[in-house]
Structure 1
Amino acid sequence: MGRFPSALNWIVTAMVVAASGVIYGRIFFHSSPLYIGAIYALFCGMPALAFERHMILPRLNRWMHGLPTPAFIASALIVDFALIAIGFAMAGGLMKSLHVITDSWADVMLLKMDVYIYAVMVTAIIIFVGRVRELLGRDVFLSLLTGRYRNPVQEERVFLFVDLVGSTAFAEEHGDLRTQQFLGSVFGALADPVRRHKGAIDDYIGDAAIITWPLERGVKNARCIRCVFDILADIEANAETWLKSYGRVPRLRAAVHGGSIVTAEIGVDHHKIAYFGDTVNTTARLESLCKTLERQVLISTDLARRIQLPDDIASEDLGDHAVRGRDQTLGVIALHMARRPERKAIGSRQ
């Protein structure tokens, strides 16, 4: 289930690439069947996109990204030309062998410069849109594109704050540059579990990440909770790699809370989807209680009542606690992996 959104993205991308080939064929080859342009486009464009996504030749890709900018641009053009030319030759050779097209072998297999320029333009546009989508996040990208939050909207959302423990000590020992690399790797480890559980990383603040869901989506199948423990499990599973790379395994604290907020698109030159309301602040304060209460994962009682926890997650009611900036106390529950399968879920105690 976790891989489905990625597969869906590739299906949509393939359809866009195929459509670009149909458009090219319609403009320059009126008499040719439209599917010929689509096949050429898929064979030319998809390898270049797969290379950009580190799915093929990942070592070459990493080496290129370490080059100075002029050298990187030159090498990228060379690699793109090679991938597109190989794809063009494969598509032409396949269709020629199947007698789908009857032109000479040279005509169907040798890449022409206008085709190369068109293919580079299409892949560049797709890569650009994909990078912007990654930069903003899927939900934010779509919201900005549709103008959903141009006027403030009141809605309910779940927020998950994940904080890296000991980042200051790490910085004092290893320096700011190495610390930034460490943080980048930690934040990178969040991406797959968040994507798998249909959340969105809203922001990074220092050594903390803010993840959010529309409330209904976040509580369904306990996604917001499963996400937390999948993050912790993934880090634990790769403990040896972390030790080898950074000399330590990241320790995280996490807090989950949900409720009513106001969502609005703000900014002039730089637009952003921002969340306003007590829910966001309360989640931040709840995360700070992790250290005080010596617990790794906390959830507010209000949100816990709306979630049926998985059988392998146990709960510990810690009672009500005063939260800075909030007049009323907040019910707090600690979550951890259950040691015994018979432990009951929170939802069964309502």
Structure 2
Amino acid sequence: MSNGTVTFWIVILAIGAAFGALHGALFNDGPTLPGIIYGAGIGSLVIAYERGVFLAGYRDRLRRLPTLAYLAAAAVSSVLVIVVAMSATGLLVWALGIADKTLAQAVTPKLPTIPFAMAVSLVLVSVLRVRDLIGAETFANLILGRYHRPVSEERIFLFLDLAGSTAYAETHGDLAAQDLLKAVFSAIAEPVRRHRGQVDDYVGDQVIVSWPIARGLDGARCVACVFAIRRALDRDRKRWIARFGLFPELRAALHGGTVVTAEVGVDRHKVAYFGDVMNATARLEGLCRDTGRSVLISDAVLARLPALPDGVEAEALGAHRLRGRSEMMVVHALTERRRLALVDETRRRAEAERRYAVARG
């Protein structure tokens, strides 16, 4: 359930409405329809602000302030958003004729309600930030206790690695490299959500994404996700070069099979995967360097796909012995016809420019 889905906002509206009903039960004669609408309206607008639906640039500027100044400015901003949300929701209640109030009464915030709204907002925002930190699906699994006991399941894993990040860090420094990684990871997030993948971990310059086997195979979703990520980066090629002096090239490896999934940790809990599949996928990603291919997929996954997405082609590379493993793995390279055409055109232009320069002496 990502921020942009209808389900996410329905849940937020429902939670806000529930707190509106709770406010009526605690401070008035009981839950009322206007109170429920106030709760839904205030809750959804506060979360929309926190998620950057509006005033995103303002929030980004706040984050760049020193810590104490940021905390003070964030608190004042939250109060102002709540006050505006109360007035906007009051206007809606008055327009619908639900409450027996004048317009002035409906849009004037009730000062005693603001501390309650602040407390509720703090709870909602804190929960959502924890959810963002560990991932929505992992968060739900931890809440439901799905992996309190180890579970054997089939999953598809996508390992994505940013090529050249070490050299970039050596040239530009670790802070600049971190800015690059942050921007790349941010660009990856939307295509992963759209293809119902789950970002499981960030390891240095590597991202680990996974799907339950049925979800990943359905419509070749796991393969489509890879090329959606590549297209998303391609669309902003000029911006990447202008900002970082390079275009981020990703190496990708897809493999799947049976893993043991379990909740681990004491002070910090997480859902982790155990089994040979994880090691094999990491080794397959390393094979991208040796083969000079950007996207590799194991035969174990390719053979189970109903069909490849339109425009994507598979080239058999035969069996390879991966580093640190005795077993051979049959591997295929994936390419997109559109991307191949762009690469060929770039090569033709470069060759034409070279010949022109030679001719001019």
Report the TM-score when normalising by structure 1: 0.92
For residues 279 and 89 of structure 2, the distance between their equivalents in structure 1, rounded to whole angstroms, comes to: 56
For residues 305 and 4 of structure 1, the distance between their equivalents in structure 2, rounded to whole angstroms, comes to: 34
Task: Tell whether the 8 Å contact from 1:160 to 1:255 is kept in structure 2 after alignment.
Answer: yes
Q: Kindly state the Cα deviation for residue 92 of structure 1 after the two structures are TM-superposed.
A: 2.6
Q: Structure 1: which 5+ runs fail to align?
A: 341-350
Task: Tell whether the 8 Å contact from 1:18 to 1:38 is kept in structure 2 after alignment.
Answer: yes
Letter in 2 for 1:204: Y
Q: Kindly state the Cα deviation for residue 188 of structure 1 after the two structures are TM-superposed.
A: 1.1
For residues 96 and 188 of structure 2, the distance between their equivalents in structure 1, rounded to whole angstroms, comes to: 46
| 2:258 aligned with 1:263 | no
3-state SS of paired residue (2:100):
coil
| 2:149 aligned with 1:151 | yes
3-state SS of paired residue (1:210):
strand
Task: Tell whether the 8 Å contact from 2:46 to 2:85 is kept in structure 1 after alignment.
Answer: no
- Cα deviation per residue 1:193-243 (whole Å; 9 max; x = unaligned)? 111111111111111111111111111111110110000000001111111
Query: Are residues 139 and 4 of structure 1, via their aligned partners in 2, closer, same or farther at CA, if it must alter by over 3 Å?
Result: closer
For residues 106 and 216 of structure 1, the distance between their equivalents in structure 2, rounded to whole angstroms, comes to: 55
3-state SS of paired residue (1:113):
coil
Q: 2:245 maps to which residue?
A: 247
Name the % identity. Answer: 43
Letter in 1 for 2:192: V
Query: Are residues 305 and 128 of structure 1, via their aligned partners in 2, closer, same or farther at CA, if it must alter by over 3 Å?
Result: same
Letter in 2 for 1:40: Y
| 2:176 aligned with 1:178 | yes
3-state SS of paired residue (1:306):
coil
Letter in 1 for 2:9: W
- The more displaced of 297-306 and 269-278 is 269-278
Q: Kindly state the Cα deviation for residue 100 of structure 1 after the two structures are TM-superposed.
A: 2.8
Aligned Cα root-mean-square deviation (Å): 1.9
Task: Tell whether the 8 Å contact from 2:233 to 2:248 is kept in structure 1 after alignment.
Answer: yes
Letter in 1 for 2:24: G
Q: Kindly state the Cα deviation for residue 4 of structure 1 after the two structures are TM-superposed.
A: 9.2
Task: Tell whether the 8 Å contact from 1:43 to 1:84 is kept in structure 2 after alignment.
Answer: no
Q: Kindly state the Cα deviation for residue 105 of structure 1 after the two structures are TM-superposed.
A: 5.1
- Cα deviation per residue 1:127-149 (whole Å; 9 max; x = unaligned)? 11111111111221111111111
For residues 95 and 272 of structure 2, the distance between their equivalents in structure 1, rounded to whole angstroms, comes to: 56
- The more displaced of 87-96 and 277-286 is 87-96
Q: 1:113 maps to which residue?
A: 111
Query: Are residues 235 and 339 of structure 1, via their aligned partners in 2, closer, same or farther at CA, if it must alter by over 3 Å?
Result: closer
The 5-angstrom pairing of residues 113-262 of structure 1 reads 113-262=111-260
Letter in 2 for 1:257: H
Query: Are residues 339 and 176 of structure 1, via their aligned partners in 2, closer, same or farther at CA, if it must alter by over 3 Å?
Result: closer
Query: Are residues 91 and 147 of structure 1, via their aligned partners in 2, closer, same or farther at CA, if it must alter by over 3 Å?
Result: closer
The 5-angstrom pairing of residues 314-333 of structure 1 reads 314-333=313-332
Letter in 2 for 1:35: L
Letter in 2 for 1:186: V
- The more displaced of 50-59 and 157-166 is 50-59
- The more displaced of 186-195 and 104-113 is 104-113
- The more displaced of 263-272 and 232-241 is 263-272
For residues 100 and 284 of structure 1, the distance between their equivalents in structure 2, rounded to whole angstroms, comes to: 59
Query: Are residues 4 and 150 of structure 1, via their aligned partners in 2, closer, same or farther at CA, if it must alter by over 3 Å?
Result: closer
Q: Figure out how many residues of one structure are paired with residues of the other and give that number.
A: 338
